[in-house]
Structure 1
């Protein structure tokens, strides 16, 4: 069984999609980010970075002690290797998937995360920051669109963990004010993936727990400030 430490947010949904697509047995362990669960000593022992997601695999392939993995990209690779699914066997296909997975964790996710913060959540609206990350968001959408012009999926013709990594971030397009219709190939890919049952179950996980409404000062500190996550 896999313990899955997560919250209703794009990086958590990436792993939820993979777990659902593979049919692996798992148990969600909800991390209340607004309440600061991610800063507790118990959670930091699982994920030293104090973010979601993380997993503990209690039935690793070697039959040894439980394996703990943090960082969404590392978790996706681990689950692909464990299940033997959604990661090509051949050298070149595997390399393409890894490149696009690392592109997502290094560019798409951080860019849209910062864009979403300054566009939607920052108390002080800073025009420079909003414009800076909006331009970069459009740039990374353009990178995806060019890749998908000649490929059915992000890393080629097959559906892989690279698609699972990108989809939950693209799913925020409307809230972030991204003109999805300007990226025809991304829109075609997005609309196609939405029909997958496993993906739909993954992004639905915890949707009823998503926070809504105004944040308290303490919640803002836990989500965006230093709070208990200060340098030690």
Structure 2
């Protein structure tokens, strides 16, 4: 049995999707980020960085794993699925996984902060992060023009990138003119395990859409978290 500590974010959904795809039994522990539950001592004992997601594998002596990319690798290696065993195949998957971890996630995350949550609107920052996110989408689209999946077969690399790409509207990043990215996005969205994974837990609003229904409460919570982070950093300077 695995316990998944998570919230309704792209990084959280990466892991719940993988668990559903792999058919591993798991218990869900949803943390209220707006209340700072990820900073409580009991969770910091699992993830010293105080971020979701994290897992505890009770079948492996209560072994804790944090960082979403590291969790995906751990689960793939634990089951022998969603990542090839040969060195070249494994490397291809890891390259595209790192592409998401080092590029797509951070750029879209910053786009979200400045486009949706930051108390002061800074157009240059919004444009910079949205433009870089779009450039990364174009890299994906170019690659997917010649490949069904990112690394040969459907893998943790597809799961990781898809969990962020699906939220492009919330980041204010268009995907018009990227037909191969759209084809790949829709193919993954149609998978039953993926549909289950993005409901574990369900988001208060659908981050794959840009409508405003229910977004005020979500944005206020996120904005308070941004300000909480700034205050914490300033107090340490």
TM-score when scaled to structure 2? 0.89
CA contact (8 A) 1:145 1:183 kept: yes
CA contact (8 A) 1:36 1:223 kept: no
Structure 2 portions without partners, runs of 5+ = 206-213
Structure 1 portions without partners, runs of 5+ = none
Does 2:203 match 1:225? Answer: no
Q: Secondary structure at the match of 2:144?
A: helix
Does 2:86 match 1:90? Answer: yes
1:73–1:218 distance in 2 versus 1, CA, 3 Å: closer
From 177, 194, 200, the equivalent of 2:195 is 200
CA contact (8 A) 2:93 2:151 kept: yes
Distance of 2:64 and 2:99 partners within structure 1:
23
CA contact (8 A) 2:117 2:222 kept: no
TM-score when scaled to structure 1? 0.91
CA contact (8 A) 1:100 1:162 kept: yes
Q: CA RMSD in A?
A: 2.1
Does 2:208 match 1:213? Answer: no
From 105, 108, 112, the equivalent of 1:109 is 105
The aligned runs of 1:57-206 (5 Å cut-off) are: 57-60=57-60, 65-156=61-152, 158-206=153-201
1:193–1:202 distance in 2 versus 1, CA, 3 Å: same
Per chain length, whose mean CA-contact separation is higher, i.e. which structure has more relative contact order (CA < 8 Å, sep 6+)?
1
CA contact (8 A) 1:17 1:199 kept: yes
1:130–1:218 distance in 2 versus 1, CA, 3 Å: closer
Query: In the alignment, which residue of structure 2 is the partner of 1:28?
Result: 28
Report the more deviating stretch, 71-80 or 146-155.
146-155
The aligned runs of 1:14-25 (5 Å cut-off) are: 14-25=14-25
Distance of 1:92 and 1:170 partners within structure 2:
26
Aligned length: 227
